[in-house]
Amino acid sequence: MFKNKVALITGGSSGIGKATAIMFAENGADIVITYNSNKSGAEEVAAEIQKIGRKVYVIQADLCQEKDAEDVVLSAVKEFGKIDILVNNAGRYVDGDEWNGVSEIWMKSLRQNLLLMMNISKYVIPVFKKQNSGVMVNVASRHGIKGHSDAVSYSAAKAGVINLTGAYSDLLQPFGRANSVSPSATRAGYWLIAPKEELEQTLADRPNHKLVEPETVAKKIVYLASDEAKDITGQNFPVTE
């Protein structure tokens, strides 16, 4: 499906990013993954990709820093000569994200969930333009569709991701595409360490009372990056099962 393609996945050391990187590799792509602090996780993902028989390049970066984002893209292009697919997965929920919280927590949440996507996209889009091809898939959230009072800035940031996706879709036409996915609570990141009561309440509100598996989200991302979805752009897709 992705023979001779190169996929860059941000936040590829665990969770949705890990599942997505491995799934792309299983479908023939060579992989670039970024990580911020989880070096051992990134190395484990790289080892799995190598076992599949695909090439992989791992880069440590804080994508909230524009220079780091630029270095990632330059290094990826130097290593593989191109970038065909960008999966903007990196992001995190910030503790204390409440409607009456302090502004620094809100700004941190915006930096870590929206600004970092803008930073890496700023340097990948010119690569797409030069190639006259490229596909972007951004990971938003159910809270980006409907905000939550216990995740105010996170909701705003993820809504921004959905809106940003539409803007990038316009920018990339006619040669490229951009879509986003909005997972419900997923067995990754915050939900692996969430307080028991919060997790139980979240599961109680879900039809099947289960967390979404990272592989379920990865399947949607891989589909949207494939030629099967070549006519789909500027859309956001909830992932609930």
pLDDT tens for each residue of 63-114: 999 999 999 999 999 999 999 999 999 998 887 777 777 788 899 999 999 9
Domain membership of residue 123 as a residue range: 6-186+213-236
140 domain residue, yes or no:
yes
- What pLDDT shows up at residue 120? 98
Beta-bridge partner residues of 178 = 136
pLDDT-above-90 percentage for the chain: 75
Q: Is the pLDDT of residue 209 over 60?
A: no
Check residues 3 and 101 and name the one with the higher pLDDT.
3
79 domain residue, yes or no:
yes
Least confident of 64-73, 79-88, 154-163, 182-191: 182-191
Query: Mean per-residue pLDDT for 138-154?
Result: 87
pTM over 0.95: no
18 domain residue, yes or no:
yes
Q: Is the pLDDT of residue 221 over 80?
A: yes
Q: What angle do CA 162, 111, 75 make, to 5 degrees?
A: 90
202 domain residue, yes or no:
no
Q: Is the pLDDT of residue 219 over 70?
A: yes
11 domain residue, yes or no:
yes
Q: Which of 93, 123, 154, 168 is catalytic?
A: 154
Q: How far apart are CA 182 and CA 178, in angstroms?
A: 14
226 domain residue, yes or no:
yes
As a dihedral over the C-alpha atoms of residue 119, residue 124, residue 125, residue 131, rounded to 10 degrees, the angle is 170
- What pLDDT shows up at residue 184? 75
Structure tokens at 85: 């697919």
Confidence of residue 149 (pLDDT cuts 50, 70, 90): confident
| Averaged pLDDT of the chain | 91
Structure tokens at 41: 């996780």
Q: Is 35 noted as a catalytic residue in this protein?
A: no
CATH number at residue 36: 3.40.50.720
Query: Mean per-residue pLDDT for 173-184?
Result: 94
pLDDT tens for each residue of 38-64: 999 999 999 999 999 999 999 999 999
208 domain residue, yes or no:
no
- What pLDDT shows up at residue 72? 98
Confidence of residue 142 (pLDDT cuts 50, 70, 90): confident
52 touches 75 (CB < 8 A):
no
pLDDT tens for each residue of 12-32: 999 999 999 999 999 999 999
In the chain, the number of structural domains is 1
204 domain residue, yes or no:
no
- What pLDDT shows up at residue 135? 98
- What pLDDT shows up at residue 100? 76
Q: How far apart are CA 43 and CA 135, in angstroms?
A: 26
- What pLDDT shows up at residue 108? 93
